[in-house]
Chains A and B, each alone.
Chain A
Amino acid sequence: MASMIPEIAIEETQGDIPQLTGDPQSRRRPRLRYWRGVVLFLAGVYFLIPLYAGLRFSFQNDAGQFSFYAVEAIPSQTGFTAAFFLSLRLAAVTTVLTMVLMVPTATYVHLKLPKMRRVLDFVTILPIVIPPIVLILGILDAAPRWLKASPYLLSLVYVILALPFVYRSLDSGLTAIDLKTLVEASRSLGGRWISTLWHVILPNLRAAMLSATVLTIALVLGEFTMASLDLWTTLPVWIYQFSQLDAHIATAVSMLSLIGTWVLLTVIVSVDRSQSRRTRRRTGIL
């Protein structure tokens, strides 16, 4: 019996495993890496060439020479500041409205009407199917006059446009937690609905809400059709109008708007990450 143990140990250490893993897999790996590299390169080219072209054009003068004049001239252009702040206000209002509307709705559907999830799935995808021009013309026809006079009508429309992205983000966030048990645990401990939502559900939906917020802001800052038809000069509308006067400045604003959105998203994601890191540090786990 005792003599069998070293034999088994010897068999296990004779190097069969590297041979097994070495052969076909290692031959496949370089090919896989090669194709991965090709795909990544092509995708990168597809996305980066327009960006490069835009940036290059932004830093050129009319003579085609390198210049900062377009970037330096942006703040002093008529209507830029108003358009910029209008877009920011609309993004903030839309984000708040979307969250206030969708977080309780998605939570309620998950908890009480799970069979309605498919219906909601379908309803929230409609804004993608319906052309924006149809949507805004219908809304302009139906909206009361006092609302038509306000730019915040656009926020209401943007809430509809953001639904597909926001609902899906929240839906996946709610699916990832054991919502029913958490809510019941909170209620059995004396938590009212509002306390449960505030102390239990929202903190656990933070990542989903963050992603929904990011998507909503990006959507509002880039939306052109509806704002244009509603006759409000948001940043995309201003860029379009100004491109008739000076294409270099308009392109520079587009590029800065893009970079600004990226910076905003990076800040939001970093804040979330640093919060998680602080949490881990507090508990002694890094």
Chain B
Amino acid sequence: MTAFEQGPLRSSTLHDARGVGARVDLDRLARVFGQTRALDGFSISIEPGEFVALLGPSGCGKTTALRVLAGFERLDGGRVSVDGQDLANVSAQKRDMGMVFQSYSLFPNMNALNNVAYGLRMRRQRSHQRKKKAAELLELVGLADQSSKYPHQMSGGQQQRVALARALAIEPRVLLLDEPLSALDAKVRAELRDQIRSLQQRLSITTVFVTHDQEEALSMADRVCVMSRGHNEQTATPSVLYARPATPFVAEFVGVSSRVPVERAGNEVIVFGQQCPVRGVDAFGMLEAIDALLRPEDISIEVNPAGKGFVTHRSFLGATTRMVVQVGEISVRVDVRSEVAADIELGTHVEVKVISRDVLIAPRQLDKVPVPV
């Protein structure tokens, strides 16, 4: 059992009071690489002690934003501040930010203990003090018995835990995690994910976590910032992000959505012959051709030989089974309770109904071909 599973953290190890994290403000950040605008007016404010995940596809600028915050990347515009202090002229080594990298970044010439103690050594702490603290931190991440091991003698998961301990040892104002789990296998990743979250909650340390894995982001973060083409699409809690996506990009990137061409009827739309309210007051704007974006759980199906849809694929997901229903030229994905789905064969004709109270709409994408599950 590791120390952080056992109970409260000793105050001698790290600041254990809640709310000790720093407030981070990234204001209209701009960073250009050649012709590419990696950051294009990206803004976000992070509360003290908050865990925020930057989520987005490859090349959306999430790692650049993190590196700008860490001081490894210069800015072409905008402002980075921590607790109101502008960091424009503060070098990386003076920013007090602990960082865990995607690739294993432990110093190969040092054992685990010396790796963790490195930051304290740079802060000129006395040898016995830093060794004591490093040992406590290794205990905290469950690696007390590995302190004399060198990086090449440890597994990937152990190395990342040492890297986490090393980042925490300096009592950073902000903890930066740059896809620290992406190189690990699924089981270790799940374990480490829980450990990081648990540790972050106990230490109340402001944390920025970069990932392209939405499951990681949604399960770990207090808020998730979805990024696209260098800007912030939406920042919200995982549940809001999933249930009330602000833009079509978010709706399609987070979770699963089916695009269904719909017709407008006043302030509502007609989906599968059913009139549905539209999410958002000014959702229509100047739109003429409209698609509805429907989550699998927004739709229900009912076996009906006269129904317009028929089942083309099915995937067992445990409690639910995801079915792909072909309605005319449209494919929609529907989640059905597995015990009900057991009676629905492929090719069965069904009636499709929208069961959500409103639907999200987006400009029609004619070239978008629905993808089966």
- Is the CB of B53 closer than 8 A to any CB of chain A? no
Asked if B31 is at the interface of the complex by the 8 Å CB criterion, the answer is no
Interface positions, chain B 62-121, Cβ under 8 Å from A, are 70-72, 91-99, 101, 103-109, 111, 118-119, 121
A185/B107 contact (C-beta < 8 A), A190-B119, A284-B148 known:
yes
Tell whether, in the assembled complex, residue B123 and residue A283 are in contact, meaning their CB atoms are under 8 Å apart: no
Q: Contact at B93–A185, with CB atoms within 8 Å?
A: no
Q: Within the complex, which residue of A184, A190, A191, A203 is in contact with B72, where a contact is CB–CB below 8 Å?
A: A184
For B109, give its contact among A181, A184, A203 (CB under 8 Å): A203
Structural contact, A283 and B150, CB atoms closer than 8 A: yes
User: Which residues from A are CB-within-8-Å of B250?
Assistant: none
Contact between B118 and A181 (Cβ–Cβ < 8 Å)? no
Chain B: which residue is nearest A205 at the CB level?
B109
Q: How large is the interface on A (under 10, 10 to 19, 20 to 34, 35 or more residues)?
A: 20 to 34
B contact face: mostly helix, strand, loop, or mixed: loop
Contacts of B105 in A (CB 8 A): 178, 181-182, 184-185
Least CB separation from A177: chain B residue = B108
A189 in contact with B118 (CB, 8 Å) = yes
Interface string of A252-286 (1 = CB under 8 A from B): 00000000000000000000000000010011110
**Number of interchain pairs (Cβ within 8 Å):** 83
Scan residues 117-155 of chain B and give those whose CB is less than 8 A from a CB of chain A.
Answer: 118-119, 121-123, 148-150, 153
Give the complex CA separation of A178 and B96 in angstroms: 23
Whether A189 touches B72, Cβ cut-off 8 Å, given contacts A177-B108, A182-B105, A283-B148, is no
* Contact assessment for B149 and A189 in the assembled complex, using a CB-CB cutoff below 8 Å: no
The reply to whether A283 and B109 contact each other, CB–CB distance below 8 Å, is no
CB distance from A112 to the nearest CB of B (A): 12
Given contacts A189-B170, A283-B150, A283-B153, contact A184 B92 (CB under 8 A): yes
User: Nearest residue in A to B91 (C-beta to C-beta)?
Assistant: A187
Closest CB in chain B relative to A255 CB, distance in Å? 39
When each residue 159-181 of chain A gets 1 if its CB lies under 8 Å from chain B and 0 otherwise, what string results? 00000000000000000011001
Taking CB atoms and an 8 Å cut-off, the chain A residues in 98-152 that contact chain B are: none
20 sampled A-B residue pairs with Cβ under 8 A = A181-B101, A182-B105, A184-B70, A184-B99, A185-B163, A186-B107, A188-B70, A188-B72, A188-B92, A188-B99, A189-B98, A189-B119, A189-B122, A190-B96, A190-B123, A192-B93, A206-B109, A283-B148, A283-B149, A283-B150
